Amino acid sequence: MTIKWIGAVAVIGSVFAAGVVVGQQNAASRREPQFENSEVQVWKSIVMPKQPLSLHRHDHGRALVSLNGGTLNVVDGNGKVMDVYKLEAGKAMWLEADKAGTQHADVNPGTAPVEVIVVQLKNDKPKM
C-alpha cells in the first residue's frame, strides 16, 4: 500500500512539475500567428518584462495595435535604444519598414507583459 502512495505522489509531482515548465514556457516573449493572406500577415506579440523578442527586421510597413498599453524599447544588436514607444491600450500606430541591413529587438522595460497586434503588409504597393 505504501508503494502505491509513493508512486501516486511521484506521478502527481511529475504532472505538477510539467505544468510549471509549460507555464514558464508560456511566460516567454513570443509571437502568436493570427491570420495571413496574400496581402497581410497578422500576429500577436507578447513581450514579457526584461525578455526581449529575438533580433528581427520588418521589410514592409505595419500597423501596431496595443492591447494593454506599456512601453516598448526598440534596441539594436548592441543593445542601443533606437526608439521608445509609449503604448496606450486600444490605440493604433503606423511603423514604416525597417532600414535596409538593420535588425532590432523589442524590449519591455516594465513589470507587466505588453501585448500588441501587428498587421504587416506583404507588399508596399496595394493591388489596384
Distance CA(42)–CA(72), nearest Å, equals 19
Distance CA(83)–CA(106), nearest Å, equals 10
- The answer for residues whose C-beta is within 8 angstroms of residue 44's C-beta and 6 or more apart is 31, 32, 34, 67, 115, 116, 117, 118
Q: Which pLDDT belongs to residue 128? A: 59
| Average pLDDT for the chain | 85
- Mean pLDDT of the 37-54 span: 97
CATH number of the structural domain 30-121: 2.60.120.10
Distance CA(41)–CA(97), nearest Å, equals 14
Q: Which pLDDT belongs to residue 59? A: 95
Q: Which pLDDT belongs to residue 19? A: 42
Does the pTM exceed 0.95?
no
In this predicted model, which residue has the larger pLDDT, 41 or 26?
41
Distance CA(52)–CA(121), nearest Å, equals 23
